[in-house]
A = this chain, B = another copy of it.
Amino acid sequence: MTINNVDLDSVVGLANAITDDPDNAATRWNATVVWNGGFRSESRVRDFDPVASDEPTGLGGTDTAANPVEQLLGALGNCLAVGYAANASAAGIAIDSLEIELSGHLDLHTFLGLKEGHAGYSSIQATVKLTSDATEEDLELLHAKVTSTSPVGHTLARPIPVSIELAEATSASAVA
């Protein structure tokens, strides 16, 4: 069955495979970022074209692409879109259109070294605009399901162990 252009059989098949063997739920995801000078870099995922990153000129960049904190908001919105599409399809709800506006507040003091403390977003808001002929009640249930199962949403809302290691600081003095 296909609804919302979602291949539901594939999702159900994966859920069944995980029920048969819970180890199938353990996934690992990867990305590689290459610095291109200045505040420009690019992220590479599998065989897809690299996605560019830069900072606005007011922050010292050359303003050629969305910056990392904007990319983070995009990742959240894309994750929520998958969540709505998947759960709506499972519930038999056809989505006519779906648009998500994301916004976050960030105090630059810590990033700029002017204060110690929290360098990240102080809060993030997402506003979901969804049109469908489902009832308000069904849409509220859908919304509750999506927000309680969002991988990116939970990664942002909860503390995650983030380990950052300097593995190969090859310096001339070290190799001399």
Contact = CB atoms under 8 A, between A and B. Distances in A.
A99 B55 CA distance: 18
Contacts of A83: 111
A4 to B, nearest CB: 7
A116 interface: yes
A22 B85 contact: no
A25 B8 CA distance: 46
A159 B161 contact: no
Interface in A37-69: 37-39, 41-43, 45-46, 48, 51, 53, 55, 57-61, 65-69
A82 B118 CA distance: 17
Nearest to A25: B108
B66 A46 contact: yes
A132 B140 CA distance: 54
Nearest to A31: B73
A166 B119 contact: no
9 contacts: A11-B59, A14-B59, A30-B70, A31-B74, A33-B80, A61-B82, A75-B75, A126-B162, A147-B164
